Protein backbone atom coordinates (compact mmCIF):
# COMPACT_ATOMS: atom_id res chain seq x y z
CA UNK A 1 0.00 0.00 0.00
CA UNK A 2 1.28 3.49 -0.84
CA UNK A 3 2.46 5.65 2.06
CA UNK A 4 1.16 8.76 0.32
CA UNK A 5 -1.35 8.85 -2.55
CA UNK A 6 -1.71 11.95 -4.69
CA UNK A 7 -4.43 12.64 -7.23
CA UNK A 8 -3.03 15.07 -9.81
CA UNK A 9 -5.83 16.95 -11.56
CA UNK A 10 -4.95 19.17 -14.51
CA UNK A 11 -7.24 22.19 -14.82
CA UNK A 12 -9.91 22.17 -17.50
CA UNK A 13 -9.48 23.79 -20.88
CA UNK A 14 -8.61 27.49 -20.60
CA UNK A 15 -9.17 30.35 -23.03
CA UNK A 16 -5.42 30.24 -23.72
CA UNK A 17 -5.73 26.57 -24.72
CA UNK A 18 -8.45 27.56 -27.17
CA UNK A 19 -6.26 30.32 -28.63
CA UNK A 20 -3.22 27.97 -28.63
CA UNK A 21 -0.87 30.27 -26.77
CA UNK A 22 1.61 29.47 -24.02
CA UNK A 23 0.11 30.40 -20.66
CA UNK A 24 2.15 30.24 -17.48
CA UNK A 25 1.99 33.30 -15.22
CA UNK A 26 2.18 36.51 -17.26
CA UNK A 27 -1.23 35.79 -18.72
CA UNK A 28 -3.86 34.28 -16.43
CA UNK A 29 -6.79 33.07 -18.56
CA UNK A 30 -10.07 31.73 -17.20
CA UNK A 31 -11.58 28.36 -18.04
CA UNK A 32 -13.52 28.09 -21.29
CA UNK A 33 -17.08 26.77 -21.24
CA UNK A 34 -15.68 23.38 -22.21
CA UNK A 35 -13.14 23.63 -19.39
CA UNK A 36 -15.93 24.24 -16.89
CA UNK A 37 -17.67 21.13 -18.24
CA UNK A 38 -14.48 19.07 -17.92
CA UNK A 39 -13.91 20.19 -14.33
CA UNK A 40 -17.54 19.48 -13.43
CA UNK A 41 -17.38 15.98 -14.90
CA UNK A 42 -14.15 15.18 -13.05
CA UNK A 43 -15.59 16.61 -9.83
CA UNK A 44 -18.51 14.23 -10.14
CA UNK A 45 -16.17 11.25 -10.49
CA UNK A 46 -14.13 12.33 -7.46
CA UNK A 47 -16.91 13.00 -4.97
CA UNK A 48 -16.77 9.47 -3.56
CA UNK A 49 -13.03 9.68 -2.77
CA UNK A 50 -12.37 10.58 0.88
CA UNK A 51 -9.59 13.12 0.38
CA UNK A 52 -7.78 14.43 3.41
CA UNK A 53 -6.97 17.74 1.68
CA UNK A 54 -6.98 19.60 -1.62
CA UNK A 55 -4.18 21.91 -2.77
CA UNK A 56 -4.17 24.04 -5.89
CA UNK A 57 -2.20 26.59 -7.85
CA UNK A 58 -3.52 30.12 -7.22
CA UNK A 59 -3.78 30.93 -10.93
CA UNK A 60 -7.30 31.60 -12.22
CA UNK A 61 -7.80 28.46 -14.32
CA UNK A 62 -6.70 26.16 -11.48
CA UNK A 63 -8.58 28.18 -8.89
CA UNK A 64 -11.80 27.86 -10.91
CA UNK A 65 -11.24 24.11 -11.34
CA UNK A 66 -10.58 23.68 -7.61
CA UNK A 67 -13.70 25.66 -6.70
CA UNK A 68 -15.84 23.43 -8.92
CA UNK A 69 -14.38 20.32 -7.27
CA UNK A 70 -14.84 21.91 -3.87
CA UNK A 71 -18.58 22.27 -4.37
CA UNK A 72 -18.85 18.59 -5.28
CA UNK A 73 -16.43 17.09 -2.75
CA UNK A 74 -16.91 19.44 0.17
CA UNK A 75 -13.20 20.24 0.33
CA UNK A 76 -11.81 23.72 0.91
CA UNK A 77 -8.86 24.24 -1.45
CA UNK A 78 -5.54 25.45 -0.06
CA UNK A 79 -3.72 27.57 -2.64
CA UNK A 80 0.06 27.24 -2.83
CA UNK A 81 2.57 29.14 -4.96
CA UNK A 82 4.64 25.93 -5.04
CA UNK A 83 2.02 24.63 -7.51
CA UNK A 84 2.22 27.51 -10.00
CA UNK A 85 2.74 26.54 -13.61
CA UNK A 86 6.39 26.40 -14.67
CA UNK A 87 7.58 29.87 -15.61
CA UNK A 88 8.19 29.69 -19.37
CA UNK A 89 9.67 33.19 -19.48
CA UNK A 90 9.71 34.74 -22.95
CA UNK A 91 7.20 32.17 -24.24
CA UNK A 92 4.39 33.31 -21.95
CA UNK A 93 1.53 34.61 -24.08
CA UNK A 94 3.20 33.65 -27.36
CA UNK A 95 1.54 31.41 -30.00
CA UNK A 96 2.38 27.73 -29.60
CA UNK A 97 2.21 26.96 -33.31
CA UNK A 98 4.86 29.42 -34.48
CA UNK A 99 8.10 27.58 -35.35
CA UNK A 100 10.35 30.03 -33.45
CA UNK A 101 8.44 29.67 -30.17
CA UNK A 102 7.93 25.92 -30.43
CA UNK A 103 11.63 25.46 -31.13
CA UNK A 104 12.47 27.18 -27.82
CA UNK A 105 10.04 24.93 -25.96
CA UNK A 106 11.38 21.76 -27.60
CA UNK A 107 14.98 22.71 -26.87
CA UNK A 108 14.25 23.12 -23.15
CA UNK A 109 12.40 19.80 -22.97
CA UNK A 110 15.28 18.05 -24.73
CA UNK A 111 17.80 19.62 -22.35
CA UNK A 112 15.84 18.36 -19.36
CA UNK A 113 15.53 14.87 -20.81
CA UNK A 114 19.31 14.82 -21.26
CA UNK A 115 19.88 15.66 -17.61
CA UNK A 116 20.68 19.35 -18.10
CA UNK A 117 18.52 20.46 -15.19
CA UNK A 118 20.32 23.80 -14.76
CA UNK A 119 19.01 24.95 -18.14
CA UNK A 120 15.57 26.44 -18.58
CA UNK A 121 13.28 28.81 -20.39
CA UNK A 122 14.85 32.19 -21.24
CA UNK A 123 13.64 34.53 -18.50
CA UNK A 124 11.91 31.62 -16.75
CA UNK A 125 12.60 28.56 -14.63
CA UNK A 126 15.11 25.74 -14.85
CA UNK A 127 14.27 22.15 -13.95
CA UNK A 128 16.34 22.61 -10.79
CA UNK A 129 14.05 25.51 -9.82
CA UNK A 130 10.99 23.31 -10.30
CA UNK A 131 12.52 20.39 -8.39
CA UNK A 132 13.29 22.64 -5.43
CA UNK A 133 9.78 24.02 -5.00
CA UNK A 134 7.99 20.75 -5.72
CA UNK A 135 10.36 18.86 -3.46
CA UNK A 136 9.62 21.25 -0.61
CA UNK A 137 5.88 20.90 -1.21
CA UNK A 138 6.01 17.09 -1.20
CA UNK A 139 8.16 17.04 1.93
CA UNK A 140 5.49 19.11 3.67
CA UNK A 141 2.77 16.66 2.63
CA UNK A 142 4.76 13.68 3.88
CA UNK A 143 5.39 15.38 7.21
CA UNK A 144 1.64 15.94 7.58
CA UNK A 145 0.88 12.28 6.76
CA UNK A 146 -2.30 13.26 4.93
CA UNK A 147 -3.56 10.77 2.36
CA UNK A 148 -5.06 10.73 -0.19
CA UNK A 149 -4.48 14.30 -1.35
CA UNK A 150 -5.97 16.04 -4.38
CA UNK A 151 -3.66 18.49 -6.20
CA UNK A 152 -5.06 20.80 -8.88
CA UNK A 153 -2.32 22.05 -11.17
CA UNK A 154 -0.93 22.52 -14.64
CA UNK A 155 0.20 20.51 -17.65
CA UNK A 156 3.91 21.33 -17.72
CA UNK A 157 4.17 21.29 -13.92
CA UNK A 158 2.74 17.77 -13.73
CA UNK A 159 4.93 16.59 -16.63
CA UNK A 160 7.98 17.75 -14.68
CA UNK A 161 6.69 16.25 -11.42
CA UNK A 162 6.25 12.84 -13.02
CA UNK A 163 9.68 13.08 -14.67
CA UNK A 164 11.41 14.17 -11.46
CA UNK A 165 9.73 11.98 -8.86
CA UNK A 166 8.06 8.92 -10.44
CA UNK A 167 10.21 5.81 -10.83
CA UNK A 168 8.08 4.42 -13.67
CA UNK A 169 7.84 7.50 -15.88
CA UNK A 170 8.14 7.08 -19.64
CA UNK A 171 11.33 7.54 -21.68
CA UNK A 172 10.44 11.13 -22.56
CA UNK A 173 9.23 14.04 -20.48
CA UNK A 174 6.26 14.48 -22.84
CA UNK A 175 5.11 10.98 -21.91
CA UNK A 176 3.75 12.63 -18.77
CA UNK A 177 1.53 14.98 -20.78
CA UNK A 178 -2.00 14.97 -19.36
CA UNK A 179 -5.14 16.05 -21.17
CA UNK A 180 -7.21 19.02 -20.02
CA UNK A 181 -9.28 18.11 -16.98
CA UNK A 182 -7.55 14.71 -16.82
CA UNK A 183 -6.41 12.92 -13.68
CA UNK A 184 -3.29 10.95 -12.76
CA UNK A 185 -2.80 9.03 -9.51
CA UNK A 186 0.67 8.51 -8.02
CA UNK A 187 1.70 6.72 -4.83
CA UNK A 188 4.78 7.04 -2.62
CA UNK A 189 6.55 3.92 -1.40
CA UNK A 190 9.96 3.32 0.15
CA UNK A 191 11.76 3.72 -3.18
CA UNK A 192 9.84 6.81 -4.34
CA UNK A 193 6.66 7.68 -6.24
CA UNK A 194 5.07 5.40 -8.83
CA UNK A 195 2.32 6.11 -11.34
CA UNK A 196 -0.76 4.10 -10.32
CA UNK A 197 -3.17 5.40 -12.99
CA UNK A 198 -2.46 7.86 -15.77
CA UNK A 199 -4.41 10.48 -17.70
CA UNK A 200 -7.96 9.51 -16.74
CA UNK A 201 -10.47 11.42 -18.86
CA UNK A 202 -13.18 13.51 -17.16
CA UNK A 203 -15.68 11.86 -19.52
CA UNK A 204 -14.68 8.29 -18.68
CA UNK A 205 -17.76 6.36 -17.55
CA UNK A 206 -17.26 4.64 -14.21
Enzyme catalytic residues: 11, 85
What's the longest Cα–Cα distance across the chain? 46
> CB 154: neighbour CB atoms within 10 A?
23
> Computed from CA positions of residues 79, 84, 85, 90, in that sequence, does the dihedral angle turn out positive or negative?
positive
Side by side, the strands of the sheet bearing 53-56 are 78-79, 53-56, 149-153, 4-10, 183-189, 192-200
199 backbone φψ class: left, alpha, beta (φ>0; ψ -120 to 50): left
For 15, phi then psi, to 5°, come to: -65, -30
Amino acid sequence: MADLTLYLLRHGESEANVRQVFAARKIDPPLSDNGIHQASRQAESLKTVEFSAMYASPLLRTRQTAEIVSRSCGLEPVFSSDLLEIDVGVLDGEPEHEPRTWAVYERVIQDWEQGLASRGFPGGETLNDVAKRLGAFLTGLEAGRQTPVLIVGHCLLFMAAIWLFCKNHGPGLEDGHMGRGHLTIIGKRDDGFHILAFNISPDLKT
